[in-house]
Amino acid sequence: MRRRDRTVALGLQVGVFVALMVLWWAVAKAELVRPLYLPGPGAVWDAFVDANRCRPISADSDRIVCGEQGYYLWGHLLASLQRMAVGVGAAVVLGPVVGFLMGSIRWVRVAVEPYLNFIRSLPPLGYLGLLIVWFGIGDLSKYWLLFLAAFPPIVIATINGIRNNREDRIHAAQSLGASRLQVATRVVLPSALPDIINGVRIAVGFAWTTVVAAELQNGLPGIGGLAYQAGVQLRTPLVIACIIVIGLAAIALDSAIKRLGEVLVPWQGRA
């Protein structure tokens, strides 16, 4: 985009955002909808601020309460991100290894692919019950859930990366005297890196939606657990504040991986 186009695009986005906020504020102010269903932006902001600080439990009380459900809101967010780090982290380590084996050894692919596709086609919350039976209601079952959600997309992306390797690139290495192992580690794997990073991006997005939903069960601390508890207690402003935080966190995660990809694969789209 040209610079002028970009300025116009940014102006448009800011304009729509402001218009939506004003509309939200006006609808809430005029009480067209009961505040229980749609609190105004101010109430949501207050809920967000309160959830991140210590305050008296009510205006005339000396009792001080910090955050919500025993944690600040950012603490809930952090708890969810930590679950992601363990479950998705394991998938990021193991996924490319399994994908590499499946992509380069035909009989491994033939043997394993049906099961991979089976797991991939299941909604993770569908097997959460089984994971709870096996691993308990605590974090261990959630780690497994996130691992199983993130693993297939990474494996499949790696397989594609391995199999789409340009034949000439491999031939060039062989004609320079590369052994099979050298071809695999120095040519095939780096060539697949852009695909692997794409797979990780898809996996993280999917795992994030999964972790928020999984926290409905024993999910405190956790941003999904907090959103659910707030809903149960009919604290709509806090629910909306959580939803916005969940969405912004998803966007931040995605752009972080995208940025990481640009650093690790500067040749993307240029070679």
Partner 1 sequence: MTAAVPETPTSTGVAITLDHVSHRYITDAGEVVHALADTSIQIPAGQFVCVVGPSGCGKTTLLKAIAGFLRPTGGRVLAGGQPVEGPGAERGVVFQQANLYPWLTVRKNVELGLRFRGVAAAQRRAAAQEALELVGLSRFIDAKPYELSGGMQQRCQIARVLASDPGIILMDEPFGALDAITRRRLQNELLAIARQKKKTIFFITHSVDEAVFLGDRVVVMSPRPGRVVMDQPVQISSHYDHLLLDELRSVPEYTQLRDRISEAIREDEH
Sites of contact with partner 1 (CB under 8 A) = 166, 168-169, 171-179, 182, 186-187, 190, 193, 265-267, 270-271
Q: How far is the CB of 270 from partner 1 (least distance, A)?
A: 4
Place of tokens 């040749």: 267
Cα–Cα distance for residue pair 252/258, rounded to 1 Å: 10
When the beta carbons of 37 and 267 are compared against partner 1, the nearer one is: 267
Q: How far is the CB of 101 from partner 1 (least distance, A)?
A: 22
Is 159 in contact with 103 (CB distance < 8 Å)?
A: yes
Q: How far is the CB of 262 from partner 1 (least distance, A)?
A: 13
Cα–Cα distance for residue pair 239/223, rounded to 1 Å: 10
Whether the bond between 221 and the residue before it is cis, its omega within 30 degrees of 0, is yes
Q: Where are the alpha helices (DSSP H) in 167-188?
A: 167-175, 180-183
Q: How far is the CB of 202 from partner 1 (least distance, A)?
A: 22
- Residue 203's closest CA among 89, 118, 99? 89
DSSP 135: H
Strand-pair partners of 68: 71
Is 158 in contact with 99 (CB distance < 8 Å)?
A: yes
When the beta carbons of 221 and 261 are compared against partner 1, the nearer one is: 261
Q: How far is the CB of 266 from partner 1 (least distance, A)?
A: 7
Is 242 in contact with 193 (CB distance < 8 Å)?
A: no
When the beta carbons of 150 and 183 are compared against partner 1, the nearer one is: 183
Q: How far is the CB of 117 from partner 1 (least distance, A)?
A: 25
Q: How far is the CB of 261 from partner 1 (least distance, A)?
A: 13
When the beta carbons of 29 and 186 are compared against partner 1, the nearer one is: 186
Cα–Cα distance for residue pair 192/53, rounded to 1 Å: 46
Q: Collect all residues with Cβ–Cβ distance below 8 Å to 35 and sequence separation of at least 6.
A: 28, 43, 236
When the beta carbons of 140 and 184 are compared against partner 1, the nearer one is: 184
When the beta carbons of 58 and 175 are compared against partner 1, the nearer one is: 175
When the beta carbons of 164 and 255 are compared against partner 1, the nearer one is: 164
